[in-house]
Amino acid sequence: MQWISRISISSTLLAALFIPLSAQAKNISTKDALACVESSKCAYFFDVYAGDKQLRQQLNKAFKIAGIPAPRWLGNGTSTPMTPIILAQKTYLLGSVCQPHNCPHSISILYSPEQKRVVAQYQPKTGTPKWLGEPSAAEQQILNEFETANSPLQKKLDSHSKLPIIIN
């Protein structure tokens, strides 16, 4: 009888390991994500994506306007924390998400809840990166630096600076 309960517990634990990320998403509000002050404790992209209808709508709209179908893995891909930054006195969340087991297929995102605006750099499976949402030159620079090792932005992110990161 004891071995039956062990099998039951083991199968329950094993099943929990295979729950899709979308089922594990925490539905974090944008307000809570923007309040993050320590990078190791920031909400991940899929948490904010699950918790913010406006983000989902704006990102899907940006894909549609660009004539690119939104990837099916968008809400449950492998993601980074959404880091609060201030650029030109505007508050954004910066993060990325990639296709599970194929991270070169990715999207880097700058999301401004105040402006109800998403800009992104989408790296398709093949070909050159595509801009989504008409980012300004400063926003393009941030998204490029986010994807570049040893860039000034990456150095700030890696130094575990107090958040939000202010970019002049």
pTM across the whole model: 0.83
Catalogue all structural domains in the chain, each as residue range(s) with its CATH number. 27-167 (3.40.1420.10)
- pLDDT, average across residues 30-45: 91
Each residue's pLDDT tens digit, 101-159: 999 999 999 999 999 999 999 999 999 999 999 999 999 999 999 989 899 998 888 88
What is the C-alpha separation between 21 and 73, in angstroms, rounded?
10
Residue pair 142/133 in contact by the 8 Å Cβ criterion: no
What is the C-alpha separation between 73 and 107, in angstroms, rounded?
11
More confident residue, 38 or 93: 93
Tokens of 94: 């910066």
More confident residue, 94 or 7: 94
Each residue's pLDDT tens digit, 11-36: 333 333 333 444 455 789 889 999 99
What's residue 64's pLDDT? 97
Bridging pattern class, strands 130-132 and 78-79: unpaired
Residue from 136, 99, 132 nearest 118 by CA: 132
Each residue's pLDDT tens digit, 46-96: 999 999 999 999 999 999 999 999 999 999 999 999 999 999 999 999 999
Q: Which helix (H) or strand (E) holds 53?
A: helix 53-66
What is the C-alpha separation between 165 and 89, in angstroms, rounded?
11
What's residue 168's pLDDT? 77
